[in-house]
Amino acid sequence: MSGNKKSQYDALFSGVIGQDYEMLNLISPLATEMSRLVGAAVAEYPVRSADKLKIVELGGGTGITTLSILTAKDKAVVISIDNEPTMQNQAKNHLKKWADEERLFFYSDDALTALENMATDSVDIVASAYTLHNFQNTYRQRVIGEIFRVLKPGGQLINGDRYALDDVSIHTRVVQREVEGYFKILTEANKLDLLEGWIIHILNDESEDHIMRESLSLNQLRDVGFSQVSLSHRMEANALVTAIKPAQ
């Protein structure tokens, strides 16, 4: 992305999301870049009819990825799912304009419950950033099965997330550098409570019952029936994964 486009993107998100975006971009610029990439992938989705696209976002958080999705497609309705009320309330405040236009709706169920309540073959895109890796493996498996069910034939999963490298030694060094960066940035900013939270979170991410190892994760998508499973834009422990539900 050119410097000019990046500055325009940052300006838009800073103006709408405010300090939430600024802090995330300071701590983890790769995370904000991945949110941008999710939106870019949504923008490339082929529109097959005059109907508005129905997009489900898993784990909307404070609205950073939600905004990226909303600005990617003018003719789209987004259902943002998050069962953490504090963050979702922030998103509702940040993105009130789109909610008032009935382009954005909020669900407060957990991901699996929300998906189970949706009709089969009813959704064009399921998109997310940094949500699936938070789930325990067995729960994630069920969520992926439900994602496949609710997508229309030809529908797409777009997920920007932590995908651990298959080489454990290399991945460990990547995570060590990541943690060093958190210490440097957050101690200089005197945000030790936030540093503690990030360290606790990354330890959870790397635990055996949560970690998404690249090859296993891609095979998991293929096993439930997805085709054209692709991992791209690898940036340290982060990557963009896309997959298609085959057309019938």
Q: What is the pTM of this model?
A: 0.90
Q: Please, which pLDDT band fits residue 4 given cuts at 50, 70 and 90?
A: low
| Residue-wise pLDDT tens digits, 76-94 | 999 999 998 888 888 898 8
Average pLDDT over residues 212-232: 97
Is residue 238 in a domain?
yes
Is residue 179 in a domain?
no
Is residue 154 in a domain?
yes
Q: Which of 1, 245, 243, 230 is nearest to 123 (CA)?
A: 245
CATH number of the domain within which 146 lies = 3.40.50.150
240-to-50, 119, 160 alpha-carbon distances in Å: 28, 26, 4
Average pLDDT over residues 205-214: 92
Q: Report d(CA 147, CA 120) in Å as an integer.
A: 9
Neighbour order of strands in the sheet with 76-81: 104-107, 76-81, 53-58, 123-129, 151-162, 238-244, 227-235
Q: What domain range is 116 assigned to? A: 3-164+210-244
